[in-house]
Structure 1
Amino acid sequence: MSATSDPDPDGDTAAPVSDRVLTIPNIISLVRLLAVPVVGVLIVRGHLVAAFVVLVCAGLSDWLDGVVARRFDQTSRLGRFLDPSADRLFIFVTIVGLAYQDIIPWWLVAAILAREAAVGACLPYMLRRGYAGFPVHVAGKAGTFALMYAFPLLLLAHIDGAVGTIAWVIGWAAALWGVFLYWAAGVLYLNQFRQVVGRFRVERASGEGAS
């Protein structure tokens, strides 16, 4: 097993990651990815309680694979791709399904997708400069966590009675807070992208001056 350290946009050396593929966290992330279309079908067909259960299990698995990766030194390059990819796909499929069912407004979908588009547009440039991507920021992780638990609660909000009412209040509070944190992290990532661009321009200017 080999381990390397990816460069950090801030100029620091990131934690070493391995090139292993078959690890417990990667298997957990893969299972979570396979559950993404299941959630989409359940929501579209109106099986909201079943979709709620799957989303809760997905959220727990997201926490579990991180714990296992850190506890047993199984952080891998593939895992750094699979884990956030599964989170983003879950969020995308869930919000589109919820909007389709008129549970959330389409402007909320647009707000989340706009952030993804803004950050995603920077990644090809980062990859060409040797960066594997943006290091996970606590604001981004917190925003994802809030959204991952907001949408199951909004599904549960359609149960009549006190449970549905409480789920609606907490779910919307978590959704709005999650979108705010999601965008806050997005601004930080865009600032890191600006630093990478500035560093590359300085290095290129220095190289041209030396020649």
Structure 2
Amino acid sequence: MSAPTESTAESRILTVPNLITLLRLACLPLFVWLLLGRENPLAAGALLGVLGATDWVDGWYARRFNAISNLGKIFDPVVDRLLFFVSIVAIIIAGSAPLWFCVAVLAREVAISVATLVLASLGARRIDVTWVGKAATFGLMFAFPGFLWASTDWLLQPFFEIAAWACAIPALAASYYAAALYVPLGLQALSEGRKSRASRV
């Protein structure tokens, strides 16, 4: 039996990375319940840290075992955005992290999401996430658990407060740098998308 072609592989839906992404999405209500319902920032922070780590795992698995799919290219970043929005809003409500930092992260995410939708509506091709953006997201997904673990009195509270800021500031700076990089990338994607559509007419 012949091996599947690249186009066939990319058209798959039931892949391990997509299942991991679906599991991450299913854990989001549990995170909100742990933080706001049970008022347990330690457990909520642990779950958020796992969700951040599995975001790296599904990307690594997709590249390592050629499990990249067209669905995953859309599904994974959408779930990432949803996790960011919902978890940060929940953290703001709980008062578990500095408000200015949460607002700064949300403002950047809103700007990127709106820009992505506008570019897509104008016919731009899909823009791949840059390594700077991936690194920033990875750092932020560990900064917020750190803030959660530092928001309650326990033995390791001082350590996690320092660790949270050590991740937060570089990751926030990198996220805005990545946003600036997307400006020329977005213009290029728009130009190429329009040319591609014009050539098919």
TM range (shorter): 0.7 to 0.9
Q: CA deviation at 1:56?
A: 2.1
**Structure holding more helix per residue:** 2
Q: Residues 200, 93 of structure 1: CA spacing in aligned structure 2 closer, same or farther, 3 A cutoff?
A: closer
C-alpha separation in 2, matches of 1:131 and 1:196: 5
Q: Residues 101, 192 of structure 1: CA spacing in aligned structure 2 closer, same or farther, 3 A cutoff?
A: same
The residue that corresponds to 1:33 in the other structure is 25
Q: CA deviation at 1:92?
A: 1.8
Q: Does 1:100 align with 2:93?
A: yes
C-alpha separation in 2, matches of 1:34 and 1:197: 34
CA contact (8 A) 1:18 1:75 kept: yes
Q: Residues 62, 17 of structure 1: CA spacing in aligned structure 2 closer, same or farther, 3 A cutoff?
A: same
CA contact (8 A) 1:91 1:147 kept: no
**Percent identity between the two aligned chains:** 34
Relative to structure 2, which stretch is displaced further, 46-55 or 143-152?
46-55
C-alpha separation in 2, matches of 1:82 and 1:179: 24
**Structure holding more strand per residue:** 1
The residue that corresponds to 1:124 in the other structure is 117
C-alpha separation in 1, matches of 2:47 and 2:113: 27
Letter in 2 for 1:105: P
Q: Deviations over 1:132-167 (max 9, x none)?
A: 2x2111110011000100111111113435511010
C-alpha separation in 2, matches of 1:163 and 1:55: 18
CA contact (8 A) 1:52 1:153 kept: yes
C-alpha separation in 2, matches of 1:83 and 1:196: 20
CA contact (8 A) 1:2 1:19 kept: no
The residue that corresponds to 2:185 in the other structure is 192
C-alpha separation in 2, matches of 1:197 and 1:23: 30
Relative to structure 2, which stretch is displaced further, 83-92 or 192-201?
192-201
Q: CA deviation at 1:62?
A: 1.4
The residue that corresponds to 2:68 in the other structure is 75
CA contact (8 A) 2:41 2:152 kept: no
C-alpha separation in 2, matches of 1:198 and 1:80: 21
C-alpha separation in 1, matches of 2:189 and 2:56: 30
Residue pairs, 1:109-148, within 5 angstroms: 109-127=102-120, 128-129=122-123, 131-132=125-126, 134-148=127-141
TM-score in terms of structure 1 length: 0.80
- Could you tell me which runs of 5 or more consecutive residues in structure 2 were left unpaired when the two chains were aligned: none
CA contact (8 A) 2:10 2:69 kept: yes
Q: Deviations over 1:61-103 (max 9, x none)?
A: 2122122111210001111122222222222222212211222
TM-score in terms of structure 2 length: 0.83
Relative to structure 2, which stretch is displaced further, 96-105 or 163-172?
96-105
Relative to structure 2, which stretch is displaced further, 88-97 or 185-194?
88-97
Q: Does 1:23 align with 2:11?
A: no
The residue that corresponds to 2:149 in the other structure is 156
Letter in 2 for 1:40: V
Q: CA deviation at 1:2?
A: 5.8
